[in-house]
Amino acid sequence: FKMGYPATHHVPLKNIRIIQSEIKNIVENDINKIMKKIVPEYMEKMRDFYDLRIKTNDDTKPLIDKTKLKDQIINHKADEMISDIDSLINQVRT
């Protein structure tokens, strides 16, 4: 315990939730960069599977729901960051 160090264990849960939602907003604002990188890589890996599907099946609609993929990326990133903050808070508490 350092002198002048803020007593993090007194931070109300409400404030922690506000911080968490702010992190989620930051991640969501950055999603286009993430999508531009991840989706092409993902599509590249799936290309052979697509080719096979198109050859063997009349139904050629996309297999990937981009909105769902986007949500998964957002939530995964935000959850990761939130759990990092939660563990920092717990370290200070103990």
pLDDT at 16 over 70: yes
> What digits encode the pLDDT tens for the residues 19-65?
778 877 777 777 766 666 766 666 666 665 555 555 655 555 555 56
Tokens found for residue 78: 């935000």
Residue, of 21 and 2, whose pLDDT is higher: 21
Nearest to 25 by CA among 84, 85, 66, 74: 74
Question: Among all chains, which residue has been given the structure tokens 């063997």?
Answer: 56
Residue 26 has a pLDDT of 75
- The closest alpha carbon to 73, from 22, 43, 32, 14, belongs to 32
